[in-house]
Every structure is written in structure tokens, then in C-alpha cells.
Amino acid sequence: MPPGGGVQEETTVPQLGIESVLVAGRGPAACAVIASCARLGLKSVAVHSEAERGARHVRMADDAVLLGPAPAAESYLAVDRIVEAAQRSGVGAVLPVPPALAGNARLAAAVTAAGLRWVGPDADVLERLGGDGVEPASERGFLAWVTAHGLRFTTPVARDRAAGIARVSWTDGTGDGRTDLPPAARRLAEIGWRGLVTVGIAPDGELAEVAAGFSLDIAVMERAHGIDAVELALRSATDAGAPDHDPDRVRSAALAVQLRATLPPGTAGTVTGRLPGDGSSGAGVVAVSGYDPGDRLDGWYDALLATVSVAAGDTAAAARAAAEVLADLSDTGVPHDGAEVRAVLDRLAAGRSVSTG
């Protein structure tokens, strides 16, 4: 399955030359990447902290490795422990999921130095572009797969930034994928960036944020083009060439949303009801949950509960489909921002502009 989830038939990509990957990440994004590895015929190894021994991404993976104590700095973000976990598990590659890891030049260099394949831009490229791993949240941006031949599957996006959080992102038009991009965007390939990229564009038209990894927006690119971002990332890392898709044709409008817990920082909670992703996917709709009923949120981590992405004829239709998935979340067991997300979707469904303040 692609990082948005997906219902594609199981297939394999033998030319990748990789049999197993360590999936560095957690939550819904890691769950989706692990599912995609299964579809591609790859063994996945999850990593986890002491607080998440029984997390959903751990249960989904073929194997799992303990990184360390609950604090992220001692587990999920600990470069040395991630590399050690990869070596102990015997994988052939490390696939970083969140931009915070995928943009970490030190981690990229350490993985390569250990003789493992790094699924992302090279360390020196990340250094030149900052390598800070910021999740793009500018009002406008674009997504692409960067190869030596330039940008492929280019997907302009717009984002809602209510309360400073990019809760919803969607295709900025449904054209042929060719769009006026900042000149610096065209130079990404020239400076050696390879693989997925999520970009924010500043009001002056220059690049604001440049991120590797599987941002929320990546699901928009997947739905718009009907592709699997994990496969693209692995193809870049192994020089396997392009998949059999038209890289310049946007097939449909697409939208992605994220549902977050709103527990006070440091407060634990338990998911008691079903979240999107547990039987809630439908035609054109892909929902991925990071938690099953009974799973505990321990308060250590940013609690992204689930993601929903949609392909539809236009943005309004995509927003209505996503809103329907989020219509009944009263029994999840933890407070969440579903009402705020639905308000954004309602405005999009009605064709009204969305506040970005």
C-alpha cells in the first residue's frame, strides 16, 4: 500500500535489489509505509521506544527493534541507535519516514558509513539545503519525485494553516502537472537531490521549506497521480528507473487531512473506539490509523491519530468525501481536532476560501 494506505494488489519490484528495510518512524505514516513494503514484497523492520512496544506500527511489521527509553531524543531521533538497530536487524536499507529523520544529514551519513543504503537525498545535499527536517506548512507548495532528469509527478498544493497547523492540504488545480515553479525548484535535480521532496513556497515566490521523507502532503501526490511514494523512494535509492506511469499527468483532484489528539502535553490517554483507517476506506478514499482500540497514547509524542486522503473529480468533492469519513468520531476515547478539521473541509466543500491565519 502507498503511504496514504491504498488498496492496490500485492506486487513485487524485483529490480529494487532490496529484500528488507528498517522503517524509521512511528504513527500512521510508519503504518502506511510498512503496509506498502508488504505490497512490494519487502520485509519491514519497525523501531520503537520502551513506551511503544505494542504500538500498531510494531504489530504490523515483520520484525521490530527496541531503540531506547520513551523520550524521542533517546529513541526515535537517536542517530546512533537507529544505525545500530539497522545493523542488528540485518536489513539492506534504512527508510526514514518523517521529515525530521529524512532531512537529518548526520543520520544519512551514518547509515551510509555503516554500509547500508539510505533511502533519501545524500547527506551532503541535505547539508547544503539546511537538513533541518521541517514539515512544510506554507500556504502554497508543491510535491515531486526528483530524478537526474528533473522533477516528476509534480503536484502543486495548497494548505490550510488554521492555528498554525497544516491540518488539510489539497491539489492546487487539476491541470497537467506543469506549473510555474520558482527557478530554485528546477535546480533541485542539478544539486543532487534524489527522491521525494515536499516544498513550501514563500509569498515572494522563493522556496520556504524543502523536506525529504513522507510528509502529510505526499498522500496528495499519490492520490493525484495514482502512484506509490514508497516505491518511488526505493527506486531512487537503488537507481531502479521510473515506474510505468505518465509523470506529467495529474489524474484527479486530491486532498489529505490529519486527525490529531488534543490531550494536554504529557497527558496519557487510551483509544477506545475505531479511528479512520479501521474499515473506513471507500472508493477513492484511503484512511490510515496509527492506533487500534485499546492502544495507549503515553503523552511523549505528537499524537497524530489518523490520516485520510481522497482522489475525486474536484476539490469540493474530495472535501465532502473526507468529511464523511470524519463524520462520527464521538467514541474515540481521546479528545481530538476533528471538529476543526471538518470546519476546513466544509469550507472547501462549499467552494469557499480557507483561512490561513
pLDDT digits (tens, 9 = 90+) for 25-52: 999 999 999 999 999 999 999 999 999 9
Report the distance separating Cα 241 and Cα 85, nearest Å: 29
pLDDT of residue 227: 92
Report the distance separating Cα 72 and Cα 95, nearest Å: 18
Q: How confident is the model at residue 354 (pLDDT cuts 50, 70, 90)?
A: low
Q: Which of 307, 323, 268 is nearest to 28 (CA)?
A: 307
Q: Which of 153-162, 203-212, 315-324 has the highest mean pLDDT?
A: 315-324
pLDDT of residue 246: 67
pLDDT of residue 242: 80
Q: Which domains does the chain have, with CATH numbers?
A: 14-128 (3.40.50.20)
pLDDT of residue 3: 52
What's the pLDDT tens digit per position in 300-346? 887 899 999 999 999 999 999 999 999 888 789 999 999 999 999 99
Indicate if the pLDDT at residue 142 is higher than 90: yes
pLDDT of residue 9: 43
pLDDT of residue 353: 65
Mean pLDDT over the full length of the chain:
87
pLDDT of residue 6: 45
30: CB partners within 8 A, 6+ apart: 23, 46, 57, 97, 290
318: CB partners within 8 A, 6+ apart: 170, 253, 254, 255, 284, 310, 311, 312, 348
Q: Is 168 exposed, middle or buried (0-12, 13-18, 19+ CB in 10 A)?
A: buried
Reduced to 3 states, what is the DSSP secondary structure of residue 132?
A: coil
Lowest mean pLDDT among 12-26, 63-77, 147-161, 296-310: 12-26
Which residue shows C-alpha cell 512490494? 40
Q: Is 187 exposed, middle or buried (0-12, 13-18, 19+ CB in 10 A)?
A: exposed
Indicate if the pLDDT at residue 214 is higher than 60: yes
pLDDT of residue 177: 47
Q: How confident is the model at residue 10 (pLDDT cuts 50, 70, 90)?
A: very low
pLDDT of residue 230: 96
